[in-house]
Chains A and B, each alone.
Chain A
Amino acid sequence: MSHQERDRAMDTLVSVRGLDVSFLSYRGIVRALQGINVDINYSETVGLVGETGCGKSTLGLSIARLVPPPGIIERGEIHFEGEDLLKMSKEEMRAIRREKMSMIFQDPTTSLNPVFRVGDQIAEGVMLTHEMKKEEAMARSVELLRMLGIPDPSKVARQYPHELSGGMKQRIMIAMALSYKYKLLIADEPTSSLDVTIQAQILELMTEMQKKTRMTILLITHNMGVIAQTCDRVIVMYAGNIVEVGTVHEIFKKVYHPYTQGLLAAVTLHEEEERLTTIPGSVPDLIEIPTGCPFSPRCKYREDKCEREIPKLYEIEPGHLVACYLEGEL
């Protein structure tokens, strides 16, 4: 290992190599992730963006080893602080989830248990991780809620999930995610079910907490605006593959992959323009994946080569990866 490689390895919190995940359906095998390679560094906020069914949530779940059946992780490695999560026993994995990583899901209503008070639900995690007594843990829960700017936190802690609004419930989830010094927070569409003004509150809160705790955040979303406003780096996915990785600035200002280009054009609504730029065709079926580049059937720059072989992700500029034969000549 050279110096450079070692330095890089030390910065990496999560390193995914050759990850294949499939779901078995009655129609055949759905290849949700195909040979994913990606690194996530310490203390950064990484955005994972793509359209419905591109595999972004599956990648998030894979890192926590929570892919639900009938999904299976077929092959690959997921290194977390240098250790392969896929080789761990269930017990070891539980310990990792308890002490090292945390998750927030899109719908806070289904993530909270409706029959327990929210304070108790936060305290449960606190008791496990801090080995605290119930009273101490409850006090800590209230303290966490106060930290999140929730008015009258001791009253909220005694309420049940159905008594709280969506934004408030998502704040409870964030309180849980912050209840311990977790290394990684996987946030899967944390604000998609919320209104924009509430979304602004939650994102502000997450950014603030990230600054204080230096936690690494993997933010899964389909909203390019959210990505631009909160992330350091961006991973763009399409049909089970990563197509582009770069700093937020590079992805938005110097895009190399035709799909990312199309995605950005579709969200940039300029009043002056008569028509919006669209991507022709539709997302491929993940059971019958086209050979070659998954985007090739919809790509206007398609060449013969694109249809034969999947382009590998390579570094086109320092820190900017792209999986395309065009070499950036859009």
Chain B
Amino acid sequence: MPLIKVKGLKKHFPIRSGFLRKAKSFVHAVDGISLSIDRGKAFGLVGESGCGKTTAGNCILRLIEPTEGEVYFDGVNILKLKKEGMRKIRPGMQIVFQNPYSSLNPRKTVGKILGDPFKLHTHLTEREIEDEVLRLLERVGLGKEHIYRYPYEFSGGQRQRIAVARAIAVKSEFIFLDEPTSSLDVSVQAKILNLLNELREDFDLTYLFVTHNIDLIRYMTHDLAVMYLGKIMEMGTKEEIFGNPLHPYTKALFSANPIPDPDKKLKRIVLKGDVPTPIDPLPGCRFFKRCRIAEKGLCDVADPDLVDVGDGHWVACYKVK
């Protein structure tokens, strides 16, 4: 049984205007996505800014309330849980944010930041908590002396280590990694990625890895989904998606990624125009306007479903057989 199972997840944000603040239109940030993640695996969500990948992750953790859909964590539909039930399940589902400069409270010491989860979710004594915090610091590659320091005394990479330590503090099973390295330099990024991979193996953690960086997805995950304007365009194992991308958007996205090798000059599929707005989208495929193989009267009439094309590979496109 997969640890995380998501069915028909939707999140529509209302745009209110006028005297009575009536919702006139909706931003379809996440528009019906389904996926499942097996225990101990890393699942990647990749897409450009505004495609709804972060919103999807936040809904899966129930940090924001989805409009529609089901989210199962270890077989329990967490969207049906009351506050108390949710509180019990929280330590198992954690998050690491993109920006470690704003995700750590500047007025708390590292000892306090890492000690708080234990105070909330366990009955350990102060002494025991301190031991746990020291163990955590060591595990993420920081020193004992760091326990009394404040976040501002650390570099970006070290702060992200603290954020990771907080996420794994109390028996966590599932971590949503929201662009965890995009604010870091490449040499620092490599260290954090190594740490994340070690932790996943040591503690049998399950990751949802959200990023716009295609190389990272390829390195970090087992399965992935490509999102575009709130929809999953293509989904499958990493080997399948990278070895045999089928959706025209996936192809364009991969081809735009600059390869750090001057001998492999890109044959870019340059997409025309910008990403259209997710406000009350038109019927039909979301990619229709920028697609090279779109067919009028077919692709702009109804939304294509995500169809299994074999080998654990799913595609949402009428033109892919």
Residues in chain A within 8 A of chain B (CB atoms) = 51-52, 151, 165, 167-168, 195-201, 203-204, 222-229, 248-249, 252-253, 262-271, 274-279, 282-283
Contact = CB atoms under 8 A, between A and B. Distances in A.
Interface in B109-150: none
Chain B: interface size category: 35 or more
B209 to A, nearest CB: 13
B185 A196 contact: no
Nearest to B156: A52
A278 B187 contact: yes
B300 interface: no
B194 A276 contact: yes
Given A168-B274, A197-B253, A200-B268, A223 B258 contact: yes
Nearest to B49: A195
Contacts of A199: 256, 258
Contacts of A263: 186-187
A197 B271 contact: yes
Interface in B249-301: 252-253, 255-266, 268, 270-271, 273-275
Q: For B260, B261, B265, which residue has the most chain A Cβ atoms within 10 angstroms?
A: B260
A267 B185 contact: no
Given A201-B270, A275-B197, 19 more contacts: A151-B273, A195-B48, A196-B253, A196-B258, A197-B270, A198-B48, A199-B256, A224-B186, A224-B260, A227-B260, A228-B258, A228-B260, A248-B262, A266-B186, A267-B260, A269-B218, A274-B197, A276-B193, A283-B185
Nearest to A195: B48
Contacts of B215: 267, 269
Contact of A204 (B189, B216, B268): B268
The 6 A-B pairs with the shortest beta carbon distances in the complex, nearest first, are A225-B258, A200-B256, A269-B219, A195-B48, A224-B260, A276-B190
Nearest to B273: A151
A286 to B, nearest CB: 14
B272 to A, nearest CB: 8
B212 interface: yes
Contact of B185 (A167, A203, A222): A222
Given A51-B187, A277-B190, A278-B190, A229 B258 contact: yes
Given A262-B187, A276-B194, A279-B187, A271 B219 contact: yes
A229 B263 CA distance: 9
B260 A264 contact: yes
Given A225-B258, A279-B187, A201 B155 contact: no
A229 B266 contact: yes
